[in-house]
Amino acid sequence: MTIQPGPEDGLPDPSLAALIGERRRLINLAYRLLGSLSEAEDVVQETYARWYTMSRQQQDAVESVGGWLTTVATRICLNLLRSARARRERYVGEWIPEPLPEPTERPGGGPDAAAGDPADHVTLDESVNMAFLVVLEYMTPAERVAFILHDVFHYSFAEVAEIVGRSPAACRQLASSARRRLRDARPASHPMPADHAGIVRNFKQAWEAKDIGALIGLLDPGVTAVGDGGGRVTAVLHPVEGGERVARFLLELAEKASGVVFLERAVNGRPGLVAQRAGATVAVYAFDIDGDRIKHIWAVGNPEKLRPWTTGTVYP
């Protein structure tokens, strides 16, 4: 992002430090609200652009720079969420939130990547794991905004009401409805198993060995596998359900995936897999595990959603 210069007299903009200091929080907020890294970046850019369209007098009248930026960014996100359903009805196949790599696992990252600009990092917690983000997609835009602002970012309902233009009571009801959706979608939700990485590793080994028995043993009987190619690459258009069906589907993929190597990598803060061909990332796999069985597999192959994994572009 390019910060605009200060006023004509050449003196530094007194709000510059405050603006820069808010960037990371805005990126974190927008990514959780939209489930899209690229859209989150666009929202933050647009938010700053609106700030700099105001006169210095208008800027000086703002009591809280952070509060103003949050309000504008949230309202932009809310408008995007309202239009997203129509856009996703035209999306080819299933839509999955964009997967997020660890800073050190981005191309060119290395062990020192985490020490880069902290404004470009999203805090990797339970509110960005893929299972959580997928459930958010089933909430209404208003529910999602009220829930994220209050339950994740700990804004009071009075503050949420001021941001979204509803009463505190209405925002409380929206957040309560969102929590019910979360409970209904994940009634058997448990903390991440201690051996999550081991289960993913065993899955990888069974898949590479084309061992259908081992695969079925690692999959929940009601497992669901979802692919997102966005019409850009070949992907299953509808979810595949059931342990044996998913296992056989995976074996079919393995037969076609000539030259593909699977790497164990963190995806949205949890153990996952990255598929590479000739050193280039072609798909990212995220998993939801309950106990010692895999309940959901999300495979993202849409190149537009893999840019953080393939180009080294700094996204949140």
Q: Is 108 exposed, middle or buried (0-12, 13-18, 19+ CB in 10 A)?
A: exposed
Predicted model pTM: 0.85
Grade residue 87 by pLDDT with cuts at 50, 70 and 90: confident
Q: Indicate the pairing of strand 240-241 with strand 260-267.
A: unpaired
Instruction: Report percent pLDDT > 90 for the chain.
Output: 64
Largest CA distance in the chain: 73
- In degrees and rounded to multiples of 5, residue 19 shows phi and psi of -65, -50
> Are 233 and 301 spatial neighbours (Cβ–Cβ below 8 Å)?
yes
Range 151-176 burial, b when 16+ CB lie within 10 A, else e: ebbebebebbbebbebeeebbbbbbe
Radius of gyration of the chain (CA): 21
Sign, CA dihedral 65-67-71-77, equals positive
Q: Which residues contact 40 (CB under 8 A, 6 or more apart)?
A: 27, 30, 31, 33, 34, 315, 316
> What are 99-136's pLDDT values in tens digits?
999 876 655 554 444 444 444 455 656 778 999 999 99
Place of tokens 């009401």: 161
> What are 237-253's pLDDT values in tens digits?
899 999 999 999 999 99
Measured distance CA(100)–CA(284) in Å, rounded: 9
Q: Indicate the pairing of strand 293-300 with strand 219-228.
A: parallel
Measured distance CA(114)–CA(196) in Å, rounded: 23
> What are 176-233's pLDDT values in tens digits?
999 999 888 765 545 556 689 999 999 999 999 999 999 999 999 999 999 999 888 8
Place of tokens 């930026």: 69
